[in-house]
Amino acid sequence: MSPGRQNATHAEIVAALRQGHSNLRIARDLHCDKHRVARIRRELGIPNTPLQPLTLEEKWASKTRPVDGGHLEWTGERAKATGTPLMRYKGDTYSPAAIAFEKHHGRPARGYVKADCDYPHCVAPDHVNDTAARESDRLRTRAERGLGDIPATCVSGHSMSKHAKFKADGTAYCGRCKVLDKRAQRDPSAPRRIRLLPTSVDEAFARHAEPAEDGHIRWTGRTSHTTPTVSFANTVHSAYKIAFRIEHGREPEGTVTSRCDMPYCVAAAHLEDRPMRQDRRQQERRARQQERKLDRLYARIFGSAA
Ligand SMILES: [Zn+2]
Ligand SMILES: [Zn+2]
Ligand SMILES: [Zn+2]
């Protein structure tokens, strides 16, 4: 055998062909001419090895990269206009998010699959949802927040039993209004739908504050992380701060936090700003000191007798 293996033997090439390798791979491994490999393949009648030896899932996995926060970045092809990941496999185009969904749920996705996390176009199997899973997640969040029945009609009078859609925080919106809004954006001459917008931030707040049992006030509006929020005049406000100001007649100092165990409750009696938090903590400290003092006193009086 020559040192550079410029000429693999016929038997070596046959053995490699029988192992199912491609012409290109054999030529590379054995350092021989790929046309010679192809000729021997034809002579022996061994069918060509497909160039795509990876399974669909293997190809998917080879195009993903883990990133901080448990997300999965798609490193493969993307749709030019939207940046949406896509994957070609054996002549078909697949949604990498849909493959991720099936991997996690063990069933094919129904409807549009996308990630619910904040990483753009994430394809982590446990971060993606299809239309059906998204809807039931949102309805569960809605139930957990105690948001209850949806109104019969939206502010424009559309039937909500027909048009209601849900956001990730469980709040309902009118799908018909959304379609009309989009149409109006595209065509400024389209008739505008009549919507009675709140005229003040307090009114916007009041629309979503609903008295509940035990003095709680249930928040039916939007939320961001742990805070209920109100949008007014293109600004997002903390509903906690608005509730605080309405109750105390002054702007709060620092962050307003809730001490209530009902999520997003906006009852002013359950909220406190920074000075109130500091006062409470000081009182709690004093009470603890007093308790310790009494403990020591009792120990002096009764300790020796015990
Ligand atoms: Zn993610
Ligand atoms: Zn509507
Ligand atoms: Zn409360």
What is the 266 CA–ligand 3 centroid distance (Å)? 7
- Which ligand places an atom closest to the C-alpha of 180? 2
* Residue 32 three-state SS: coil
What is the 70 CA–ligand 3 centroid distance (Å)? 34
150-166 per-position pLDDT tens digit: 888 888 888 988 888 88
Please give the average per-residue pLDDT across 169-185, as a whole number: 85
pLDDT at 4 over 60: no
pLDDT band of residue 148 (cuts 50, 70, 90) is: confident
pLDDT band of residue 194 (cuts 50, 70, 90) is: low
pLDDT at 140 over 70: yes
What percentage of the chain reaches a pLDDT higher than 90? 45
User: Are residues 222 and 171 in contact, defined by beta-carbon separation less than 8 angstroms?
Assistant: yes
Please tell me what DSSP assigns to residue 303.
Answer: T
Q: Which helix (H) or strand (E) holds 101?
A: helix 96-105
What is the 278 CA–ligand 2 centroid distance (Å)? 45
User: Are residues 100 and 126 in contact, defined by beta-carbon separation less than 8 angstroms?
Assistant: no
Show me where the domains of the chain are located: 1-51, 56-129, 147-186, 201-272
Q: Return the closest-CA partner of residue 124 out of 103, 106, 100, 102.
A: 100
What is the 208 CA–ligand 2 centroid distance (Å)? 17
Residue 5, pLDDT score: 46
pLDDT band of residue 253 (cuts 50, 70, 90) is: very high
| Cα→Cα distances 25→46, 66, 108, 210, 297, Å | 15, 30, 35, 70, 88
Residue whose pair of structure tokens reads 């007798």 in the numeric block: 305
Q: Phi first, then psi: give them for residue 254, nearest 5 degrees.
A: 70, -160
Q: Return the closest-CA partner of residue 8 out of 227, 21, 77, 285.
A: 21
Residue 192, pLDDT score: 60
pLDDT at 8 over 60: yes
Q: Which of 19-28, 78-87, 267-276, 292-301 has the highest mean pLDDT?
A: 267-276
What is the 154 CA–ligand 2 centroid distance (Å)? 5
pLDDT band of residue 285 (cuts 50, 70, 90) is: very high
pLDDT at 86 over 80: yes
Three-class DSSP labels, 181-229: HHHHHHCCCCCCCCCCCCCCHHHHHHCCEEECHHHCEEECCCEECCEEE
* Cα atoms in the 13 Å half-sphere on the side-chain side of 269: 5
The lowest-confidence range among 30-34, 58-62, 189-193, 200-204 is 189-193
Q: Phi first, then psi: give them for residue 282, nearest 5 degrees.
A: -65, -40
Q: CA 257, CA 266: separation in Å to the nearest integer? A: 10
88 DSSP β-pair partners: 93
The lowest-confidence range among 75-79, 143-147, 179-183, 263-267 is 179-183
What is the 262 CA–ligand 3 centroid distance (Å)? 5
96-118 per-position pLDDT tens digit: 999 999 999 999 988 889 898 88
Please give the average per-residue pLDDT across 6-23, as a whole number: 86
pLDDT at 3 over 60: no
pLDDT at 2 over 60: no
Considering only the C-alpha atoms of the chain, give the largest distance between any 2 of them, rounded to a whole number of Å.
108
Residue 304, pLDDT score: 58
What is the 206 CA–ligand 3 centroid distance (Å)? 16
The pTM for the full model equals 0.47
- Provide the mean pLDDT of the chain: 87
Residue 64, pLDDT score: 96
23-81 per-position pLDDT tens digit: 888 888 898 999 999 999 999 988 887 665 788 999 999 999 999 999 999 999 998 88
- Which ligand places an atom closest to the C-alpha of 263? 3
Residue 6, pLDDT score: 57
